[in-house]
Amino acid sequence: MKTLVIGASTNKERYSYKAIHSLVDKCHQVVAIGAKKGMAFDISIETEKLDFQAIDTVTLYLNPKAQEAYYDYVLSLKPRRVIFNPGTENPAFYILLAAHDIQYEVACTLVLLATYQY
C-alpha cells in the first residue's frame, strides 16, 4: 500500500516528518508533497502535484484553507481513504470525498501506526 503525505516537511520536529519516518519504518511505500523540495527520511519531497499511481491513503498535514488547492488533485488520485490529522479537520472536504466514494478518517497517522490500526 502506498501513502501520499501532503504537507510534508524536512523538519524532524514536524509531525509530517515523523509520520514519514514511521510509515517507512513499518514498510509502507511513501511519496510526499510539501512546500519545499527536500528529503524526509530518505523520501523525496516534491513540490508539484505529480500523477502518483496506486495511492491507497492520503494523509494530510495542511490546514483546511490550504487543502482547498488540493481538492481536485486528491480526488483525481482516487485513494481508498484520506486521513485528517489533528488540526486538519475539514467538513467541506469530507462531503466531497464522500460524494466520490472515498473514505475519510479524522485520526492521527502516528497513533494509527503505533496501535497497528493503519
pLDDT tens, N- to C-terminus, the chain (118 residues)? 899 999 999 999 999 999 999 999 999 999 999 999 999 989 999 999 999 999 999 999 999 999 999 999 999 999 999 999 999 999 999 999 999 999 999 999 999 999 999 9
The pLDDT assigned to 13 comes to: 96
CATH number of the domain that residue 96 is part of: 3.40.50.720
Q: What is the pTM of this model?
A: 0.96
Overall number of domains in the chain: 1
Which residues lie below 8 Å from residue 17, measured CB to CB, with a gap of 6+? 8, 9, 10, 11, 40, 41
The pLDDT assigned to 105 comes to: 97
Give the integer Cα–Cα distance in Å for 61 and 92. 16
The pLDDT assigned to 94 comes to: 98
Cell 482516487 appears where?
78
Segments forming the whole domain that contains residue 73: 2-114
Output the DSSP codes for 26-55: TT-EEEEEESS-EEETTEEEESS----SSE
- Provide the 10 A C-beta neighbour count for residue 58: 24
